[in-house]
Structure 1
C-alpha cells in the first residue's frame, strides 16, 4: 500500500514538537509539504524534512497531491484552512479548539460529510494512559456512581513555548478567539466528557485576565459544570501556574476516588472506600516539560481512521461538543447566569 501523503499547515511549536515528529515516525506516512506565512519558518522545517515549503495554504492545496492535512495554525484559521483542505479532497487533523464559533464548527463538519473525508480534532488527553485506564474503571462499574470531579490544566503561559514568545498569536484576541480556555480548558472539557461518558448540560463560569499584561484574552478561568445525570464539578484553566504545570483530574465516586496525574510518581491512584489503595505507574502525561510523554497517539489514531476507514476517535462532532462547553462558559461569564450547553 502506498504511503499517505501529508502536509502540515502552520509550522509553530505544536507542529514542530507534536505533528511533524509523529508523522515522521509513522511507517505509513510521507510528509510532502509544509506551509507557514513566515517564509523562514516554513523553509527551516521544509529543509529538515526534505519537503516543499509554501507560504500560502491555498497554493499548497492547488499544487500538491496530498491525502491529508494537519491544521496547526492560530485558532482563527482552523475553520478556513480545514474547510479548504476538505474541499480539496484531503482528510483533516485540526488542532483544538476546532473553531472560533459554533457556525464555523458546523461548516467544518458539513465539509467533511460533503467530501466524504475524515475530520479529527487533536484532543490528545483522551489517549493519556492514566485517562484510558480511568475510563475503563468507570465504565466497568468499579468506581460506582460518580458524584463529583475537579480538573485543572495550568502552566505559566504560552510565551515559554510558543514560536513567537511574548509576541505570540495566543495573546491576540482576533487570532486566538480565547486564551487559556481555548489553549487548555477545552482539553479538559473534552477529557471530562470522555471519562464520564455523558454530556454536560449547564455551565457557570468566572473568566478573568489577571496574570498577563498587554493581552485581551483570558488567562484564568474556572467553570462549574453539571452533567445530564447530575454529576457536578469544577474545571480550571490557567496561564498563571508559574512555578510548574498542573494537569490533574480527580473523580469522586461511590466506591472509589480516582486521582489522575495528581501524584508525581503514580499517574493514577485509586483510593477505595474500603481503605485499599492501588497505584498505577503508567508513564507521565504529555508535557512540554522534560520527561513528559512525547507520543500523543493523535497522529496514529488519525492515520488509522483513514487506512481502516473508521470514524476518528475525536470526530468533528465530538470536537464541537467540547467547544460548546467553552462557548457556554463565555456566555455565562458575560451574562453572570448559569448557561445551558447546546447539544
Structure 2
C-alpha cells in the first residue's frame, strides 16, 4: 500500500518514522512548501518530496494520504484528497468548526473513501486499560472524573496556534484529547461549562462536562506549563477509583472499596507504555481497517463529536454560560 504525507512538521515526521517500519507500506512521497523541510525529509527517507500537491497525487499515486498540516488547512486538503478517490488519515482535530468537520465526513462518504482521524490518546495502553476496567464494572457506576494535560505553549513558536480562528486554541488543539477520552470512557455529553485564564505566556482552560448518565468530569488544559509534559486521569465510581498519570512508573492503579471494612485496597496492574508505540499502533490500525473494511477504534462520528464538544466549550468560555450539546 502506497502512503503519502502532506505537511512535514512534527507530526509529518512522526508519521513517516512509523510508516517506514511497517511491512507492506511504501512511502509514495510527500509535499511541503518549505524547501528546507523537503530536502531534509527526502534525505532521511529516500523518498521524493514533490513541488505541488497535484504532482504528488499524479506521479506518486498514493492509495492513502496522511494530512499533517496545521488545523486550518485540514478541510481544504481532505476535500482535495477525497475528490481524487484517495483514502485519508487526518491529524486531530478534524476541523476548527463543527460544520466543516461534518462537510469533510460527507465529502469522503460521497466519494466512497475512508476517513480516519488521529485521536492518538485512545491508543495509549493505559487509556485502553482504563476503559476496559470501567466496562468490566470493577469500579461501579461512574460518578466523577478528572483529567489534566499540560505542556509548553506552542503559540510562542508558531503564530497560527495563537489565532483561534485557525487553531481553535487550547481547547480545540490540546484539551480535545481528553474530551474525546472522557466521551469514549464514560458516555455522551449533555452540557459543558468553561473557565479560562491567559497571559502572554500561559493559557489555562478548565471545563466541566456533564454526561447523560449523570456523571461529571472536570478537565484541565495548560499551555505554558513549567514542568515536563504531563497527563493524568482519575475516574471514581460507586465501587472504587482508577487513576493514571504519565509521570508514574505504574501504568495505572485501581483502588476498590472493601465492603467488609470500607478500607480501600490498592491493586497495581503491571505494564509499561514505553514498550508500546501508540503512534505506530494507530497508523497500523487505520491501514488494517482500509485492507479489511473493519470499523476503526475512532469513527468519523467520534471525530465530529469531539469538535462539536470542543466548540461548545469555547463558546461557554466566551459567554461565561453553560452550553448544551
TM-score, normalization by structure 2:
0.93
Distance 1:129 1:229 in 2: 25
> Unpaired runs of 5+ in structure 2?
259-263
The equivalent residue for 1:314 is: 298
The answer to whether the 8 Å contact 1:6/1:31 transfers is yes
The question of 1:6 aligning with 2:28 is answered no
The structure-2 alpha-carbon separation of the partners of 1:59 and 1:169, relative to structure 1 and needing over 3 Å to count, comes to: farther
Distance 1:153 1:110 in 2: 31
The question of 1:209 aligning with 2:209 is answered no
User: Once the 2 structures are TM-superposed, how far is the Cα of residue 55 of structure 1 from its aligned partner?
Assistant: 4.1
User: Once the 2 structures are TM-superposed, how far is the Cα of residue 304 of structure 1 from its aligned partner?
Assistant: 0.9
1:232 counterpart (210, 216, 220) = 216
The question of 1:243 aligning with 2:243 is answered no
After superposition, the CA RMSD in angstroms is 1.8
Distance 1:211 1:280 in 2: 41
The question of 1:268 aligning with 2:257 is answered no
The structure-2 alpha-carbon separation of the partners of 1:157 and 1:305, relative to structure 1 and needing over 3 Å to count, comes to: same
| Moved beyond 6 Å, runs of 4+ | none
2:87 counterpart (88, 91, 95) = 91
User: Once the 2 structures are TM-superposed, how far is the Cα of residue 54 of structure 1 from its aligned partner?
Assistant: 2.3
The answer to whether the 8 Å contact 2:96/2:172 transfers is no
Distance 2:196 2:140 in 1: 33
2:139 counterpart (138, 143, 153) = 143
The question of 1:279 aligning with 2:268 is answered yes
Distance 1:209 1:263 in 2: 25
Distance 2:132 2:174 in 1: 24
The structure-2 alpha-carbon separation of the partners of 1:294 and 1:171, relative to structure 1 and needing over 3 Å to count, comes to: farther
Distance 1:169 1:292 in 2: 34
The equivalent residue for 1:216 is: none
Distance 2:84 2:198 in 1: 39
> Unpaired runs of 5+ in structure 1?
160-164, 214-218, 285-290
The structure-2 alpha-carbon separation of the partners of 1:277 and 1:70, relative to structure 1 and needing over 3 Å to count, comes to: same
The answer to whether the 8 Å contact 2:182/2:217 transfers is no
User: Once the 2 structures are TM-superposed, how far is the Cα of residue 293 of structure 1 from its aligned partner?
Assistant: 5.6
Distance 1:282 1:149 in 2: 23
SS at match of 2:104: helix
The equivalent residue for 1:121 is: 117
The equivalent residue for 1:131 is: 127
User: Once the 2 structures are TM-superposed, how far is the Cα of residue 173 of structure 1 from its aligned partner?
Assistant: 3.6
The structure-2 alpha-carbon separation of the partners of 1:41 and 1:148, relative to structure 1 and needing over 3 Å to count, comes to: same
User: Once the 2 structures are TM-superposed, how far is the Cα of residue 281 of structure 1 from its aligned partner?
Assistant: 3.3
The answer to whether the 8 Å contact 1:118/1:311 transfers is no
1:333 counterpart (310, 317, 320) = 317
Q: How many residues align?
A: 319
The equivalent residue for 2:64 is: 68
SS at match of 2:210: strand
The answer to whether the 8 Å contact 1:210/1:220 transfers is no
User: Once the 2 structures are TM-superposed, how far is the Cα of residue 211 of structure 1 from its aligned partner?
Assistant: 4.9
User: Once the 2 structures are TM-superposed, how far is the Cα of residue 174 of structure 1 from its aligned partner?
Assistant: 4.8
Normalized per residue, the structure richer in helix is 2
Distance 1:325 1:167 in 2: 25
User: Once the 2 structures are TM-superposed, how far is the Cα of residue 57 of structure 1 from its aligned partner?
Assistant: 2.2
Distance 1:33 1:328 in 2: 38
User: Once the 2 structures are TM-superposed, how far is the Cα of residue 263 of structure 1 from its aligned partner?
Assistant: 5.6
